Amino acid sequence: MAGAGLQTAHDKTLHRINRGHDFACYQRTARLARERGLKVCAHLIVGLPGESQGHCLQTLEQVVATGVDGIKLHPLHIVKGSIMAKAWQAGRLDGIELEAYTVTAGEMIRHTPPEVIYHRISASARRPTLLAPLWCENRWTGMVELDRYLNQQGAQGSALGRSWVAPQAE
């Protein structure tokens, strides 16, 4: 399987986070890999600066349309020594809240065809390297909340063909 660290399909964000590629580059790479019989696993991040839940679902739609066999999904980690750490320390960047990650990741999973395999739905890092969000110190926190959300809202693929609508607060 060929892993592709796409992170997002939005070129403006890719430029902002210094990825050094655009979405068209990912599309070419994924197409070439699949033409050679390789399966493709896209790495996606929820909580990138300037991106909403809608951006994340657009990324998912574009990745699925390009052709993907697997997805590794996790929240943005703001880590010590990074450019984003400087923005976070200056108050110009927030880490994603657990609830926002749960809803966004949950809806991405619900809008994903069942044949696409999720290899990761959360990730962890430790202090002092991790600055934010601190709930990411334990990957199980995100996984348990996602499990709860999917049990309430529906499993992978259950929202295919439907527009994303924010769940109503109870």
Going from the N-terminus, what domains does the chain have, and what CATH number goes with each? 2-77+96-123+140-153 (3.30.750.200)
Residue 168: per-residue pLDDT: 46
Distance CA 96, CA 135 (A): 10
- Coil, strand, or helix at residue 152? helix
CB-based contact 40:4 (threshold 8 Å): yes
Within 8 A by CB and 6+ apart from 41, the residues are 1, 2, 3, 4, 68, 69, 70, 71, 72, 119
CA dihedral (47, 24, 112, 149) in degrees, to 10, reads: 0
Residue 166: per-residue pLDDT: 55
Distance CA 163, CA 138 (A): 32
Residue 2: per-residue pLDDT: 81
Give the global pTM: 0.91
Query: For residue 70, what are the β-bridge partners?
Result: 41, 117
Residue 77: per-residue pLDDT: 96
Residue 7: per-residue pLDDT: 95
Residue 170: per-residue pLDDT: 43
Distance CA 109, CA 158 (A): 9
Q: What is the mean pLDDT of each run of 10 residues along the chain (170 residues)?
A: 89 90 95 95 96 95 96 96 94 95 97 97 93 94 96 96 60
Kindly state the tokens that stand for 67.
């052709």
Residue 164: per-residue pLDDT: 63
Q: What letters, b where the CB count within 10 A reaches 16 and e where it falls short, cover 38-54? A: eebbbbbbbbbeebebe
CB-based contact 30:40 (threshold 8 Å): yes
